[in-house]
Amino acid sequence: MPSQQLPPDLDPRGRHRGDGRGSQYAARGIGRVIGAIVSIGLLLVAGYTWYQYRDLDRNVSRLDVSVGEPATPDQPDIDGQDQNILVVGNDDRSTMSDKEVKDLHVGRDGGSLATDTMMIVHVPADGSRATLISLPRDTMVDVPDGYGTNKLNAPYALAYSAAMGRYGSTMSPPAARSEARKAGADLLLKTVTTFTGLSIDHYVQIDLLGFYRLSTAIGGVPINLCHDVDDRHKTNVAHGSDGGSGLHLKKGRHDISGKQALEFVRQRHGLDNGDFDRVKRQQYFLTAAFRRVAGSVGILFELRRLKDALRTSVYLDRHLDLLDLARQLENLTANNIVGKTIPVSLDGTASPKQVKRFVATVIGRADTSKSKSKSKSKSKSTSSSRRSTPKPTAVDAKCID
């Protein structure tokens, strides 16, 4: 029986002979399959990340505080539509167990509500740069609502205590504490806004245990110490007085997280300028932590641990959207995070007018530096060189006390 032959365009054997078009077709098919798999993978990662962000956003505790208020009714916000976030480290230890108090070297001081860490994070609308403006805790300020002159770390505690006095006997303990937190945050926001002249758009509050949990979830953050550090002074567990942070590290580079991170940002003993040097450490650590997060793809899959930390010890204002903030900061690197501290003397005195001028200048420089560099045509080559070789940060090249 004579063999039957298929037409060349239907014979599968013909695709592998002649001009080689068959192999091209096969390669294109494989390429499409790989492209589809990669696309699906990217969609899954993006979907997982979006879900985790949204899940985190839903679970975090919220405060209905008065954000976005101008310093005075007739004074516009000095920085337009850019975001200013007041980040507050609360010294509350009442939720810690005795073991946690001992392990973290924080002392039991009756659950102090002093806001010992205060920092304004200024983010331009384009997210190109961030400025950390630290507010030393011992700065003397005029506290609104008839509270007189006091340290900057006092307004929150004053309003909190007053609110607990009003609501403690008429509300359930959780409801009373919620109202007290709102009152404390509102008075602190009003104090900071009046003192700096800067409208605060968002509010973030974290206690000691929350910082410990967050830094543990993030993982090792690199630091570089100029000197050996031994701050293992005995802590009075009953009162928390005269106790050291517990930090004990040799000179040089280390990766710290959790307990060591908390000790690093809390140490005052052994530092030449006490709280002022501690402020520098806090700025240094936050910059290094941002680099750790921004440079780690794996952090996207650690959001569940971050959620657990945020849910118990962190409070945000009800308008702050974590996903929107993450998108605004997606192009930010540690090289364009600037740390500043308001002008204040060692005894805590500060001129409100000088502070307002300082803040306005810092914000103005942060927002216009990019446009100013573009306008200098004569220094085009210099600008190009700076863009290709970012200025080293403290974490890259410098050590810290």
| Rounded percentage of the chain residues whose pLDDT exceeds 70 | 61
Residue 229 has pLDDT above 70, yes or no: yes
The residue length of the chain stands at 401
Q: pLDDT-based confidence at 397, cuts 50/70/90?
A: very low
Please report, as a single letter, which amino acid is at residue 312.
T
pLDDT of residue 10: 47
| C-beta separation of 252 from 322 below 8 A | no
Q: Which amino acid is at 3?
A: S
> Within 144-255, where are the H helices?
155-167, 173-196, 208-218
With 0.75 as the threshold, say if the pTM is over it: no
Residue 203: per-residue pLDDT? 93
Residue 379's pLDDT is what? 36
pLDDT classification of 92: cutoffs 50, 70, 90: confident
Taking the C-alpha atoms of residue 393 and residue 387, their distance in angstroms, rounded to an integer, is: 14
- Using the predicted structure, report yes or no on whether residue 40 has a pLDDT greater than 70: no
Least confident among 54-68, 194-208, 214-228: 54-68
Residue 174 backbone zone (phi > 0: left; psi -120 to 50: alpha; other: beta): alpha
C-alpha span between 121 and 102 (Å, rounded) = 32
Q: Are 70 and 193 in contact (CB under 8 A)?
A: yes
Please give the pLDDT value at position 66.
Answer: 80
Specify the pLDDT at position 35.
52
Backbone angles phi, psi at 306, to 5 degrees: -65, -40
Q: Which helix (H) or strand (E) holds 148?
A: strand 148-151
Mean pLDDT of 210-226: 86
Which secondary-structure segment (H or E) carries 305?
helix 303-313
Residue 69 CA to residue 360 CA, distance in Å, equals: 17
Mean pLDDT confidence for 228-237? 69
Q: Are 86 and 200 in contact (CB under 8 A)?
A: yes
Please give the pLDDT value at position 180.
92
Of the ranges 6-15, 91-100, 161-170, 241-250, which one carries the lowest mean pLDDT score?
6-15
* pLDDT tens sequence across 303-345: 566 666 667 678 888 888 777 777 777 666 667 888 899 999 9
Does the pLDDT at position 366 exceed 50?
A: no
Confidence bin at 151 (pLDDT 50/70/90): very high
Question: Taking residues 76-81, what's their average pLDDT?
Answer: 49
> What's the burial of 37, exposed, middle or buried (CB within 10 Å: 0-12/13-18/19+)?
exposed
Answer whether residue 169 shows pLDDT above 50.
yes
Cα–Cα–Cα angle for 401, 85, 201, rounded to 5 degrees: 160
DSSP state, 232?
-
- Rounded to an integer, the average pLDDT of 238-261 is 79
Higher pLDDT, 303 or 290: 290
Tell me the average pLDDT across 268-290: 83
The pLDDT value recorded for residue 171 is: 95
With tokens 């039991």, the residue in question is 108
Residues forming a β-bridge with 151: 140
The vertex-121 CA angle with 118 and 123, nearest 5°, equals 170
